Amino acid sequence: MIAEAILDCARTPLTRGINLVEASAGTGKTYAIGMLVLRAVTELGIPIDQILVVTFTKAATEELRSRIRQRLAEARNLLTGGSSDDATINAWLATVTDRQTALERLRQALGLIDRAGIFTIHSFCLQMLTEQALESGQLFDVELLADVGQVRTQLVEDFWRSHLYPLGPRVCGIVADKYPTPAELAASIMVPGLAYGRILPDSVSFDEATTRFEKCFLRLASWWQQSSAVLYGYFQKAQEEGQLKKALSEELSFWWDSLSAWFDGEGGLPKHLDYLTREGLLEGLNGNKFRKRSKDDFLAEWPLPEQLAMDVQEMTGSILLALRLELAKTLRAELQHRLQEQGHMSFDDLIVRLDLALANEGEGLKRILGERFAAALIDEFQDTDSAQWRIFSTLFGGGSHYLYLIGDPKQAIYRFRGADIFSYFTARNAAHHQATLAHNYRSHPLLVNEVNNIFSGRVAPFCFPDDALPFHPVLPAKSEKDGELLQNGERLPVMVYCQLAESDKDKGRWSSGKAAESIREYVVAEVCRLLDHANPVTCRKEKDGAVSATVLAARDIAVLVRSNHHADEYLLAFARAGIPAVVGSKKSVFETEEAKELLTLLAALATPGDMFSVKRAMTISWFGLTGNDLLAIWEDESAFDDRFNRFLSYHQSWQEKGFLAMMNRLLADEDVYLNLARAEMAERRIANIHHLLELVQETETAEKFGPDETLVWLRAMIAGKSGDEDRELRLESDEQAVRIVTMHSAKGLQYPIVFCPFLWYRSDREQRAELVSCHEEDGLVIDLGSAEIAKRRLKAAEETLAEDLRLAYVALTRAELCCYTMWADVKPVKGRVASSHESALGYLIFPDGAGGFPEQQQKLQAFSAHPGVEYRLLLSVSESSAHHLKPPANELAMRSLSPGERTLVTNYQMSSYSAMASLSEQEDHGAEPPGDSVAEPGPEILHPGLPAGASFGNLIHDALELFPFHSLASGTAHGEELARLCRRYGMAIETPTVQAFLATIVTTPLLHGEGGFALAQLDEDRIVSEMPFYFHMERLDTRKINDALSGETTVTPLSPKVMQGYLTGFVDLFCEHDGKFYILDYKTNFLGGNMGDYRPDRLISAMASHNYGLQYWIYTLVLHRYLANVLPGYSYKKHFGGVLYLFVRGLSPAMPGNGVYAALPSQEILTRLDTAVGGGR
């Protein structure tokens, strides 16, 4: 193991190779990265665009970019005579020998800062794959999916249908009894790493398992028919004598009937088949009746079909295991294939594909990508995985690059997202140099020392050997003068250990629920005390002899919880105490109670004739009805009829006026906001309702949903298919509130005061889990039920404890001035909650075992001997007794403000051509010709039977954009690439068919006579495909456009609207031929099956129905303005050749000009149009 050095960001020499930097909490990791970039630019002379910085979130990239720019600017100012009170950058300045060269390099770097390679891991992989698409063997253009859940669900449902539908009722019943839905079957195998971990057992055949089960079942069924009556007599006698436990005794008759039905082929798998075995039945015997006689002796006489029942149970388990194994392997094999067929790629696929490309494409791709950057700094490296490590080590770990891996393995807490601390260990072993950041710049010096004491107090504090994950105590960078808390002139402790007093039940031990409740009551009461305006807590700071003090506010306090459920409990408790609080999580508004109540309401409004749905909706809090109110209404026929008729009226309003209009009426008529205002957290609840209504309205409008479709969509969103845009909105009042944050979300954050009320908690649910994932020598293992699963459970439990310890480290290092650490002696509940002695905090502070309450108290009291540390014993505190008295409001006279001259209403916008075209007073978006149109005579089009719809249009557009026209003319080129495009757009069309169609498009003369030309004849250097434009609109009034183009048969008038700003769009093709410039646009509209359907005179109606005429006038004006600016001696009559709209289905080399709408817009009308949109600016 390489000895670790202290990293001095200003002086430590920068070295090639793999440099591993451990940045403990609060040690200034982001600052260090900025300094390393600064030194790479000035000392190594590496251009800023050849320095790669990778982090893991978009927000982090923006922060890093800002910090790096700030650091470079600060260094530039120092070199030009400025000053700084930053000791580190001043120390760097002292090392600079050639200041002029350093200054020139800094100026150049700042000028190119927007080209700096600062990426998330996913954006880095995407750019590398995109830039080297051919070398990496990737698609040119795919759609990225943030969530592949929908595609995975489709695969699971396909699997369910293909495997369960052919089964007989007996086997199908076994599966459906255990997993009633495809989603529940999928949940039994879903685990991080499923895509790459080793799945065990290796092979269990589903078909073989079902065959063996049937044989075992028939043997047991035969026994049942012959011998069950005798066995039942034994059960009846035991029941009569009270020898069975109450549950078995009461359900004996029902259980026996269910067995009989199952053996007769009439029922599903009965519960407690194990009662037919001695081991299973032992659990059903009443132990009080067997004081003198053992249970085993009692059962020795029973004629149980023990082996037969055990065989059936074993085969039942084998069927379920085999099915889960096949599903896991199907998802692994088919998910990527299904995504690729649909032209999609997940964010994780980006990493996997770059990893595979580097492995499969040899040294060429490695060299190309490696030459892009001379230095690479990987932020948050502890959250990497094996594929990411292979990418970085392959590209930059060979010794010629400066590779810095910066992170803190003690904060590797995202295993549930696929992060793998074992990849960090692999990198540690491969590192050429190792260093640590030694000083904590976040916390009070005494708090830094106490955290050091906690983690130094036992061997292997993170449950790994010290050579794998050591703990290096950090040094405080701050002094007490940098901040301390005072109340009544006395210093408050920096660490408070709070121990819950003994419970009056269960030998002094608490249940986890009661412990959490008691601790919550204390936390709320303590926060009330800290925020007491009559006895305020102040934060005192001293700088350069000047003393400042600020009163502690609610926003200075954070409570770190384990889950969103715990967060909601604290939010409600603070609300009851009158303390403003906010949950600082990424919770979706669809996870709130308001979403569930909205769903209940809409279900009734969608089916108002359903009396039960209406009654259910009346129970939601929006109507403010108590149980007595509801009973009175339901018993009063006229009162209920009134409510019922109101629901019918809302339903009619929804259908006639739309969702939002209906909901606004309901909210007003039913006094919903007034009802909610009487409840707790009214502001948050009303904000959530507004947010939900906006989201539903947007979706209903965009998707043209009716009530039933809206209901289905809302139900799916609540079920967990929401996205980032659906997070709860932040309120202005949230800025002044206590922060309630999950420990996972708190990473990277800091607060003056932090409460840690859940470090005693540890889940025991993994003991009941159907699968186990853990690491072995050959990597991640996912065990769905092998013979070794019990052993692996122990290993998985160790890994879970190790992550809990890292989570505890994160929690304990968030505080700046004070941390409250809670302890409770909690008893275990098997399969649910582990003993608190086995928790992360128990592991750390009781290395020799927790012992009883006195031993625990003695240990915790001993900590109070440390400077700045206090011990408290928590007695019962009633939550209702804790109440925060707000400071009296300032009595200020209210006065009205004079209205300002500025208006917040504006017509200024960035608008697309499509948005303008949507203002057309008549539109026809149909892909097919009108049903009453008469087919034109003439020959059939060359390529009949091609698909209709937007996907086919996108396919043709992409092909004409991506591939040279002259190569498409052969009719045989680009087969593999075209096949990929077909898969991307989900087109079930043969590649030769597409090749032939494209060949026709590019070889057809587009105009009659000598001036005609085909696309294949164009000079590739004189073509611009998909030309984007930004068209300035001074003040565009659509009525003036209508006036200017009033005589044009292909233009549909626009609805009145005033627009300012920029109009944006893309021109399919802009080209020059024989000295003239042309605008071309491709249309795949199906106008009919004969060539005559695509004659120029027939194309006029198609142009008008989609307002393509307006489109080509705007495009012509864009090109006219552009050429006037860039082409010397430009003349519209001399240089502009016209517009050509290619209705490609009607093209034929034998009929030049057919399927082509050609026009040369009048220069006089063009001038009027130019004036209408702003006068040529």
Q: What is the dihedral of CA 1001, 1004, 1006, 1012, to 10 degrees?
A: 150
End-to-end CA distance of the chain: 68
Beta carbons of 125 and 351 less than 8 angstroms apart: yes
Phi, psi dihedral angles at 554 (to 5 degrees): -60, -35
Q: What are phi and psi of 652, to 5 degrees?
A: -65, -40
Helix/strand/coil percentages in the chain, nearest 5: 50, 15, 35
The answer to whether 67 and 33 are in contact (CB under 8 A) is: yes
Q: Are 329 and 205 in contact (CB under 8 A)?
A: no
- Are the CB atoms for 580 and 527 separated by under 8 Å? no
Nearest to 807 by CA among 871, 744, 756, 738: 744
Strand blocks (E) in 837-919: 869-874, 908-912
Binding residues for ATP are 23-30
Cβ neighbors of 517 (< 8 A, separation 6 or more) are none
**Packed helices 627-635 and 637-657: angle between N→C axes, nearest 10 degrees:** 100
Do the beta carbons of residue 119 and residue 52 sit within 8 Å? yes
Question: What angle is formed at CA 950 by the lines to CA 948 and CA 952, rounded to 5 degrees?
Answer: 60
β-strands 1136-1143, 1156-1159 pairing: antiparallel
Distance (Å, rounded) from C-alpha 624 to C-alpha 1142?
62
C-alpha to C-alpha distances, 359 to 198, 393, 419, 543, nearest whole angstrom: 20, 12, 21, 56
And the tokens for 1097? 């005179």
Beta pairing partners, 407: 22
Structural contact between residues 738 and 580, judged by C-beta atoms closer than 8 angstroms: yes
How far is Cα 744 from Cα 585, in angstroms, rounded to an integer? 10
Binding residues: 23-30
To 5 degrees, how large is the angle CA 1124–CA 1128–CA 1133?
60
Q: Are 860 and 497 in contact (CB under 8 A)?
A: yes
Other C-beta atoms closer than 10 Å to the C-beta of 712 total: 12
Residue 166 preceded by cis peptide, ω within 30: no
Sort 91 into a burial class: Cβ within 10 Å, 0-12 / 13-18 / 19+.
middle
What is the gyration radius of the CA atoms in the chain, in angstroms? 36
Helix (H) or strand (E) holding 1167: helix 1163-1172
CB-neighbour burial class of residue 495 (10 A; exposed 0-12, middle 13-18, buried 19+): buried
Say if strands 117-120 and 537-543 run parallel, antiparallel, or are unpaired: unpaired
Q: How many C-beta atoms surround the C-beta of residue 4 within 10 A?
A: 17
For residue 747, give the amino acid letter: K
Calpha distance 204→217 (Å, rounded): 19
As beta bridge partners, residue 1076 has: 1073
**Residue 1084: DSSP 8-state:** -
User: What does the alpha-carbon distance between residue 1177 and residue 1171 come to, in Å, rounded to a whole number?
Assistant: 10
- Rounded distance between C-alpha atoms, residue 837 and residue 853, angstroms: 11
Distance, in Å, from the CA atom of 826 to the CA atom of 828, rounded to the nearest integer, reads 7
Helix (H) or strand (E) run with residue 485 in it = strand 484-487
Nearest to 383 by CA among 766, 60, 34, 784: 60
